[in-house]
Structure 1
Amino acid sequence: MLVIGLTGSIGMGKTTTAAYFAERGIPVCSADQIVHDLYEGEAVPQIEAAFPGVAPDGKVDRALLAKEVAGHPGKLRELEAIIHPLVVKGEMEFLRDQAKRGAEMVVLEIPLLYEAGAEVRVDTVVVVSAPPEAQRERVLARAGMSEEKFESLLARQMPDAEKRARADYVVDTGGSLEDVARQVDKVIEDLRGREGAVWDKLRGRLES
């Protein structure tokens, strides 16, 4: 089973690109979705204990949590220490399930793949990219987003140019949706039939 890592900076079009992989029958696991589920379930007790008051209704309030860690690198690292192992656990469960189903290839959508050193958990990396002006326009159109918040998020992410340089494949979302779909088709065609090594190694560690 070939494990594809899909990543890219904020506003680059990862969700759209992941959807095209899914439409073509490639199972996709979203790290963001895992986090969303954790904030409503397994991670709530740990996060509430570390940041009292951020889960008033038994679910983590993202706005309250964001205020708690904003401008405090130490608190952010504390949150990441709680969340990251649980996200990896979720990804491993996904991979185990898909391997049992006989999947030829799967996608792990990991926004901070390079920043977290997660490239060691995938066989190949697809970076989603777009021109800076398109990225800025998309992100600033989001509810609750500001220039200051956008710049803060960018500062925590590896520059797009570096991600592109390190990628095995780059999907440019600056054009039409049809163009994005064609690029995804080319990636899948190129990877079809390629053997993956990562899952066998990960499975060996899990079983040892």
Structure 2
Amino acid sequence: MVKVGLTGGAASGKTTVCRLFREKGVAVSIADDLARDAVAPGSPGFEAVVDWFGDGVVGADGCLDRPALRRKLISDPEARRVLESIVQPEVIRLMERFLEQEAATGASMAVCEVPLLFELNLDSMFDITLHVGVDRSTQCARLMARDGVSEAEAMRLLALQLSDGVKRERADLVIENLQGLSELKGAFYKVFEKIVKKCSAHL
């Protein structure tokens, strides 16, 4: 089975690419979903986050208030390191379990969407790394629209991630998302065919 690690900066279009993979019948694991599972109410991860960050990061529904937590991460580099030390080991364990389960079903391909793939040096887990490329100004505008944050907040968040250029250099394949959905789909289908050929070579 070919294991694909999908990454890209915030608001680069990773979610759309995941949907396109699923439309092709490929199983996709989303790191953010796994991270939510790792800090679900009642879990050891949840208790550890609240112990460190305080009750202010708990929403009215009893779950973590992700926007409130994000604001703390932007303003405090140490807070980011603490959160990662709580969440990352469990996310990696869940990703490995997902890949093992897909391999056991006889799948030829499986995708893990990991925003911090290169930041955490997780690329060795995968046969192919795939980056969704977008320029910083477009990312900033999308983040402001999507999350309702200011330009300054959006830029601070983006500054926490490796640049698009660095990720392009490290990725095996790149999907461009600079001009909209039509371009993104066209780039995806070309990349998908390359991965299918690699799957065939694995048989």
- TM exceeding 0.5: yes
- Paired AA for residue 52 in structure 1: G
Q: Which runs of 5+ in 2 are unaligned?
A: none
Cα deviations across residues 78-121 of structure 1 (Å, max 9, x unaligned)?
11100000111111121121112111011110011111111111
Match of residue 45 from structure 1: 47
Match of residue 123 from structure 2: 119
1:80 aligned to which of 77, 84, 88: 84
Match of residue 58 from structure 2: 55
- Paired AA for residue 107 in structure 2: A
How far apart are residue 67 of structure 1 and its match?
4.1
Kindly report the root-mean-square deviation, in angstroms, between the aligned alpha carbons of the 2 structures. 2.0
Structure 1 residues 136, 64: CA separation in 2 closer, same or farther (over 3 Å shift)? closer
Match of residue 28 from structure 1: 28
SS of residue matched to 1:192:
helix
- For 1:1-208, list aligned pairs within 5 A: 1-41=1-41, 42=43, 43-53=45-55, 54-55=57-58, 58-194=62-198
Structure 1 residues 159, 195: CA separation in 2 closer, same or farther (over 3 Å shift)? same
User: Where does structure 1 differ by over 6 angstroms across 4 or more consecutive aligned residues?
Assistant: none
1:147, 1:137 → 2: CA distance? 8
Q: Is the 8 A contact 2:4 2:130 kept in 1?
A: yes
SS of residue matched to 2:146:
coil
Relative to total residues, which structure has the larger helix share, 1 or 2?
Answer: 2
How many residues end up aligned between the 2 structures?
Answer: 196
How far apart are residue 69 of structure 1 and its match?
3.9
- TM-score normalised by the chain length of structure 2: 0.87
Percent identity of the aligned residues? 34
Structure 1 residues 176, 100: CA separation in 2 closer, same or farther (over 3 Å shift)? same
Q: Is the 8 A contact 1:9 1:111 kept in 2?
A: yes
Q: Is the 8 A contact 1:40 1:58 kept in 2?
A: no
With 17-26 and 55-64 compared, the bigger mean Cα shift is at: 55-64
Structure 1 residues 172, 59: CA separation in 2 closer, same or farther (over 3 Å shift)? same
SS of residue matched to 2:11:
coil
With 17-26 and 171-180 compared, the bigger mean Cα shift is at: 171-180
- Paired AA for residue 84 in structure 2: E
Structure 1 residues 162, 67: CA separation in 2 closer, same or farther (over 3 Å shift)? closer
- Paired AA for residue 79 in structure 1: L
Q: Is the 8 A contact 2:74 2:157 kept in 1?
A: no
With 111-120 and 186-195 compared, the bigger mean Cα shift is at: 186-195
2:30, 2:6 → 1: CA distance? 9
Q: Is the 8 A contact 1:2 1:105 kept in 2?
A: yes
Cα deviations across residues 18-64 of structure 1 (Å, max 9, x unaligned)?
11111111111110111223332432122122223133654212233
Cα deviations across residues 111-160 of structure 1 (Å, max 9, x unaligned)?
11111111111111111012333222212212331111111112111111
Q: Is the 8 A contact 2:34 2:94 kept in 1?
A: yes
SS of residue matched to 1:47:
helix
Q: Which runs of 5+ in 1 are unaligned?
A: 197-208
- TM-score normalised by the chain length of structure 1: 0.85
Q: Is the 8 A contact 2:131 2:171 kept in 1?
A: yes
